[in-house]
Amino acid sequence: MNCEPPAAHPEPAASFVRLLPKVELHLHLEGSIQPETLRELLRSNNRPDDQAEAWLAARVRQGYRYGGFAEFLEAFKYVALLLETPRDYALVTRRLVEGLALQNVRYAEVTLAAGVLLWKKQSVPAVFEACAESARDIGSRLGVRVSWIFDAVRQFGADHAREVVTWAARFREAGVVAFGIGGDELRGPAELFRDVYRQARDLGLHTTAHAGETAGPEGVRAAVELLGAERIGHGIAAIRDASVLCLLRERQIPLEVCLTSNLATGVVSRIEEHPLPWLLEEGLVVTLNSDDPGLFGTTLEQEFDLAMRSYQLRPQDAARLCENAIRASFLSGPEQEALAAELHVQTGGREPPRLAN
Ligand SMILES: [Zn+2]
């Protein structure tokens, strides 16, 4: 494949990235909500928003950084609790898809915290149907396709996760492609979810798992070997164990790497210490993602920009990261080929596609 940028049209790195047809695989709906969308949501529901305003101001003041992973989980919970109705979820889905279109993201596998919905005692079908309809409606107009991942909260245990799997399977026809687990790795070890993952596979779902983010490399190994996860959310702790790197390389298990997220939650203290360049060097299938862009003050484009600036990546490296995401997605083979062909055209120097706006 020719990944060279078009020689006749030299582009600054950011413009080059903007034009690439991108795929995002690790993106939480609730964490995607931008401050202005949160304000819009509260205004549209006539809710008093002094507390939320103060909360948003604190986020900005702190530069979207958290005093550790537990504090970040609290922030995620805070935002999730502001989503009270299916209409709220439809609105934040609409704004998310609009934001993806502006970045030329063509396909996204968006994680809906179905486990949090159960915890909030909200109707999973009512909320999901609102999200799916919203994504279809705006996505078809802007050229963004969305599939869904339902995730369970690790620390809520196996029965809770089983319920999430049941809902995910029920909505396969409506666009739910996978089941995953997130939350606190240390309080919800992989062993608890072995049968749940088997059940998910039996029901025709793909599987992912957050692992090796706050816990060590053994969590990544367990997600692959015990759970059979097809992709790993983060997985950066793998760098600390050569045998886990070997396992990921041999099985070509993609990692959903999220740079700003790791800095914001304090999992990695400096961008220079992030293992992304070493993971690439080790020959792993690395994809770049924004995770919770609203809570971290980032976008997928900014993640590419950060990676390129911090690690001196070349345009062809950015194109490779895009292709990795296409190949690691749960799209069918022909759908992957179609997107990869678009990417190749873009990186091969022909007329770039126009951006949706
Ligand atoms: Zn995540």
Q: Is residue 78 a part of any domain in this protein?
A: yes
CA of 227 to the centre of ligand 1 (A): 17
Instruction: Quick: pLDDT tens for 116-138.
Output: 999 999 999 999 999 999 999 99
Q: Is residue 19 a part of any domain in this protein?
A: yes
CA of 191 to the centre of ligand 1 (A): 20
User: What CA dihedral angle connects 47, 52, 54 and 57, to 10 degrees?
Assistant: -130
Q: Is residue 353 a part of any domain in this protein?
A: no
pLDDT of residue 12: 53
> Contact, 177 vs 145, CB < 8 A?
no
CA distance linking residue 231 with residue 254, whole number of Å: 5
* Residue 1 confidence (pLDDT) above 70: no
Domain hosting residue 206, numbered range: 14-346
CA distance linking residue 82 with residue 72, whole number of Å: 16
Percent of the chain with pLDDT over 70: 93
Q: Is residue 7 a part of any domain in this protein?
A: no
CA of 262 to the centre of ligand 1 (A): 10
* Cα distances (angstroms) measured from residue 169 to each of 147, 176, 179, 204: 13, 7, 9, 7
* Residue 56 confidence (pLDDT) above 90: no
For the chain, what is the total number of helices (H) and then of strands (E)?
17, 8
3-state secondary structure of 120: helix
Q: Is residue 4 a part of any domain in this protein?
A: no
When pLDDT is cut at 50, 70 and 90, the band that residue 185 belongs to is confident
CA distance linking residue 210 with residue 247, whole number of Å: 17
CA of 348 to the centre of ligand 1 (A): 33
CA of 5 to the centre of ligand 1 (A): 31
Instruction: Quick: pLDDT tens for 188-206.
Output: 999 999 999 999 999 999 9
Environment class of 354 (CB within 10 Å of its CB; exposed 0-12, middle 13-18, buried 19+): exposed
Token output for 124: 């999973």
Q: Is residue 356 a part of any domain in this protein?
A: no
Q: Is residue 293 a part of any domain in this protein?
A: yes
Q: Which residues contact 273 (CB under 8 A, 6 or more apart)?
A: none
pLDDT of residue 181: 97
Provide the annotated active-site residues.
213
* Residue 48 confidence (pLDDT) above 70: no
How distant is the alpha carbon of residue 139 from its chain centre?
A: 17
Q: Is residue 260 a part of any domain in this protein?
A: yes
The CATH number of the domain holding residue 108 is 3.20.20.140
**Domain count of the chain?**
1
Instruction: Quick: pLDDT tens for 276-324.
Output: 999 999 999 999 999 999 999 999 999 999 999 999 999 889 999 999 9
**DSSP classification of residue 285:** -
